[in-house]
Amino acid sequence: MLAWIMVCIASLLFYKYTNFFIQGIIANISPSFADEGDRISKELLPGLPPLAISFFTFEFVHYLVEIYRGHRPIRSPITFALFSIYWPSLVAGPIKRYRQFVTSARRGMHQVELDDIRAGAIRVSIGVMKKFLADVLSGWIDFMDDNYEVIPTGERWLVFVAIGARILLDFSGYSDMAIGFARLMGIRLPENFRWPYLANSINDFWHRWHISLSSWIRDYVYIPLGGNRHGIPRKVVNLMVAMSLCGLWHGAAWNFILWGLYQGIGLVLSASVGRLIRSGAGYVVRHMAVCVPGNAQICQLISGLWLASCWISTLFFVFVGWLLFFYPASKAWSMLSLLFTM
């Protein structure tokens, strides 16, 4: 079983990360060796990695690990093929869990209810609208990006917000369409987004954003590494490793790794410093409620302001992360700095 898991991972590394390893790492050590490796890779590798190889790999690894843990395998080749190449979720997820999918698929093969068709059609329509808005925002962002340094500060902030809105609309729009098309067939795919921009902490954000990926990273990377069972230093290392891999999974480039590390730092702060601050704020509110009778409205106001500040700071942190996600670190830093320059 371990051998097959290694084959899946090796396939992903070979097809998706060989050129990154040669050009991004080996080239800095030995340019001549990198040139030879680049020549060989062009002979062996296709122009682009196989379609959806990242999703194939994660779903197959999940399947093999669950079988190793004692769960019943899929016996039917047709059912396994359906799980493997189910077209609505093939390109961009959600990442399926095989037991939930097989159970839902069997139900859908026997009966599709009117509620499924209605809900699926609505979900697809919402997804199409989101994708349309994302494409409109993409065109506007590309236009403004060329003039970012000379436009007024207020318009820079609009670009900053638009970048965050675009990725949410684009990615959640695709998930909506995938979930909707599956629902039209009576099959229920896992939810992938639950209003992530309403999160009031980074930890809360990752419970709402790309849920099928974040839960996969938790179950098959973070927890096997030890999770939070071996003290705070080990927990920090596990988080940083897990989120670095999460970033690298999105693409073979340094900016994705940097984005993953950035998110890992955010999770560490959210789990440690954030807890201390929340405890302190809660103590202040409780103290006022007990010691200053009649000031319940003030306590509610303080609580509301605290929640608002948590939401705004979380949203700003996430949106700064999207600059690291889409741009090289130097440009991301320049764009962020210009937000505070008149």
Token pair belonging to 338: 């210009």
Query: Which class for 43: exposed (0-12), middle (13-18), buried (19 or more C-beta within 10 A)?
Result: exposed
Catalytic residue chosen out of the listed positions 62, 71, 250, 287:
250
**Secondary structure (3-state) at 155:** helix
Pick from 199, 196, 214: which is nearest to 94 by CA?
A: 214
Give yes or no: 62 in active site: no
Rounded Cα distance, 341 and 149, in Å: 10
Backbone angles phi, psi at 194, to 5 degrees: -130, 75
Residue found under tokens 């919402």:
126
In single-letter form, the type of residue at position 68 comes to Y
Rounded Cα distance, 96 and 114, in Å: 24
The DSSP line for 28-83 is: HH-HHHHHHHHHHHHHHS-SSPPTTHHHHHHHHHHHHHHHHTTPPPP--HHHHHHH
Q: For residue 104, give every residue at least 6 positions away whose Cβ sits within 8 Å of its Cβ, in sequence order, or none.
A: 186, 187, 188, 189
CA end-to-end span of the chain, whole Å? 59
- Answer for the pair 182, 89: CB distance below 8 angstroms, yes or no: yes
- Answer for the pair 190, 203: CB distance below 8 angstroms, yes or no: no
Q: Which residues are marked as active site?
A: 250
